[in-house]
Amino acid sequence: MAYQLTIEPLGQTVEVEQDQTILDACLRQGVWLPHACCHGLCGTCKVQVVQGEFEHGNASPFALMDFEREESQALACCATLHDDAVIEADVDEDPDALYLPL
């Protein structure tokens, strides 16, 4: 089963497979999200989940604090979806950007 993920402010939609992380799905479909460690330790890939159900995964309690979890923030490198979702990421809109899937 796959879920639809919309990334704001880009307005791009990607398909996320069951048990696939948000970051992996985005990168494989040509949508760049900020990231560094890819293991849930640094917090660089932190996103706001605006809509949808998700699982936090193995996010470090230091990279994603309890109050952030309660505010529906997630680390894209660890989080998996249980539903179609919308996230807000720290990315700039670029009208000339090409979204080239891997």
Q: What is the CA radius of gyration of the chain?
A: 12
DSSP string covering 39-80:
SSSS-TTEEEEEES-EE--S--TTTS-HHHHHTTEEETTT-E
For the chain, domains (ranges, CATH) are 2-88 (3.10.20.30)
- pTM (two decimals): 0.91
The stretch 82-91 carries a mean pLDDT of 96
Q: Which tens digits make up the pLDDT trace of 35-45?
A: 999 999 999 99
Residue 99 has pLDDT above 80, yes or no: no
